[in-house]
């Protein structure tokens, strides 16, 4: 049994359109044992995954996810460690689709034989607000989180998504948030070594280089079992921030003196007041967050014959 989980609102309706095109493909029509689920509200994909694991159990051969990074976030949070091995084919249809870039996915796989050659993808587990969750792409505090929050509510999001340039929403929100953003005071522990960061612009941790619609903010990152990768942007003049983020396109931001790149086994971020954070493109507020690498990877399809 192959299951399709479709988020029809992802990419402002782009996922719904892409799935309608998939349904016309011969590869789709020849999948005899398949079932389609459409998500109706946020977190629904997570609930669907738990339901199908209970209903189909050993009959389940693979999952097709038609949506964005937020949909993928929900799916892996619906899996348990026993079922992490179920192959997942991600069909990028959201605004950013950073997960697709993170696994070097250039073309989705509908061929059944592709499910015989999945690759391992290691994610992180984070604990905040008394909840333990899984992180697919990245988790950031401060400036990037407030940019994401602004981008998610931007009126221009639908327009940019319709043109297939979702990353422009992020860049437009960056300029808007830059005008009013106030640097934060945070305490960060990296592998047990604690530091106090005053007037810090952002701290971000990722499993691969990309976020914000394909911006290579963590050029040193490589998905693996043991390490996660991070960036700290220390005190920096506002005029220089825009220059820094423009340089991300070329990877030159690593040479700014205010930029610190690191890798770690564990990271903890503390704040004396609630601070905005983003995880896989969704935002919330917290005062404490602990992140570590999970040793049980999920299985993903990258279509090696592409």
Please give the model's pTM, rounded to 2 decimal places. Answer: 0.89
147 and 100 share one domain: no
Whether residue 174 is found in the same domain as residue 265: yes
User: What's residue 158's pLDDT?
Assistant: 59
CATH number at residue 209: 2.60.200.40
Q: Are residues 86 and 158 in the same domain?
A: no
Residue 305 lies in a domain: no
CA count, 13 A, side-chain hemisphere, 126: 28
Q: Could you give the number of structural domains in the chain?
A: 2
Structural domain including 97 reads: 2-126+296-300
Side-chain half-sphere CA neighbours of 10 within 13 A: 34
CA atoms of 64 and 48, how far apart (whole Å): 13
Residues 285 and 165 in one domain: yes
59 & 191 share domain: no
Phi, psi of 60, deg, nearest 5: -75, 120
Give the H or E element holding residue 52: helix 44-56
Give the residue ranges of the chain where pLDDT is below 70.
82-83, 107-109, 154-168, 303-306
pLDDT digits (tens, 9 = 90+) for 230-264: 999 999 999 999 899 888 878 889 999 999 999 99
The answer to whether residues 185 and 147 belong to one domain is: yes
DSSP state, 79? -
Residues 169 and 68 in one domain: no
- In terms of domains, do 61 and 82 share one? yes
φ/ψ region of 104 (left if φ > 0, alpha if ψ in -120 to 50, else beta) reads left
């Amino acid at each position: 049994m192959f299951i399709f989980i479709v988020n029809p609102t992802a990419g402002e309706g782009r996922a719904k359109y892409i799935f309608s095109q998939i349904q016309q493909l011969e590869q789709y029509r020849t999948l005899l044992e398949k079932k389609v689920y459409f998500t109706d509200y946020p977190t629904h994909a997570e609930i669907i995954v738990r339901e199908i694991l209970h209903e189909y159990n050993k009959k389940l051969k693979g999952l097709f996810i038609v949506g964005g990074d937020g949909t993928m976030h929900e799916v892996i949070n619906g899996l348990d460690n026993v079922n992490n091995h179920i192959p997942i084919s991600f069909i990028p249809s959201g605004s950013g689709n950073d997960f697709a870039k993170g696994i070097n996915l250039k073309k989705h796989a509908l061929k059944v034989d592709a499910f015989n050659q999945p690759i391992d993808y290691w994610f992180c587990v984070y604990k905040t607000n008394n909840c333990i969750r899984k992180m697919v792409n990245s988790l950031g505090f401060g400036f990037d989180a407030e940019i994401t929050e602004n981008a998610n509510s931007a009126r221009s999001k639908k327009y940019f998504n319709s043109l297939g340039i979702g990353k422009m929403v992020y860049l437009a929100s960056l300029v808007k948030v830059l005008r009013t953003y106030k640097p934060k005071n945070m305490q960060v522990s990296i592998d047990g070594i604690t530091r106090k960061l005053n007037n810090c612009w952002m701290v971000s941790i990722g499993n691969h280089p990309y976020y914000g619609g394909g911006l290579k903010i963590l050029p040193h990152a490589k998905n693996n079992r043991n390490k996660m990768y991070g960036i700290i942007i220390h005190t920096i003049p506002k005029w220089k921030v825009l220059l820094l983020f423009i340089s991300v396109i070329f990877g030159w931001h690593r040479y700014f003196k205010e930029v610190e790149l690191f890798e770690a086994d564990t990271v903890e971020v503390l704040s004396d007041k609630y601070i905005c954070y983003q995880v896989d493109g969704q935002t919330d507020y917290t005062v404490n967050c602990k992140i570590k690498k999970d040793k049980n990877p999920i299985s993903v399809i990258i279509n090696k014959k592409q």
